[in-house]
A and B are shown apart, each in its own frame.
Chain A
Amino acid sequence: DTAVSQTPKYLVTQMGNDKSIKCEQNLGHDTMYWYKQDSKKFLKIMFSYNNKELIINETVPNRFSPKSPDKAHLNLHINSLELGDSAVYFCASSEIAGSVGELFFGEGSRLTVL
């Protein structure tokens, strides 16, 4: 079983559309994250949830809205997609927030906006 799984792995869509990426972790972790990796491999945190509560919300456009229905799931919805949203989006989880523990990453969801 994959520890952190994301779907879809690839997503190609037109500008202006709305899309969602789903993430699930089966590690029993309390904290989940969304990271964005641009074409130069630079990684930037977007959001973090601890036990369904938002704890980190970096400077991200309002078009991005995370939702955590339970602590094992963290979804990312993006409205009115723009060309600059093209990137690889990584979901990750860790045992607890505020720790120096390991982050476990999913395989990424490559979003291409045309």
Chain B
Amino acid sequence: EAQVTQNPRYLITVTGKKLTVTCSQNMNHEYMSWYRQDPGLGLRQIYYSMNVEVTDKGDVPEGYKVSRKEKRNFPLILESPSPNQTSLYFCASRGVSNQPQHFGDGTRLSIL
């Protein structure tokens, strides 16, 4: 089954404790992206990757890092999480440019 898998689904943690949200896709997609969803703001892009070792900032990259060492994986790293990063996070991937993006099931992060 074609899918984008995120882990964990839920996480409660404390300020400053480094965390990683993993994202993996099994569709051999080149393009992958991270979004955060906040009430009244919709989803906003954090980072994206056009291919292995090619990443770039989206609209709200502050406080986040990403890496793309393998085509299938695109982890989101919060090196020193803060409460304003409490949000719902989505990973997405896309094949050729005229195809829609596939989304993971979301990760709810709460940073206390």
| B is bound to A | no
Binding site for B on A (CB under 8 A): none
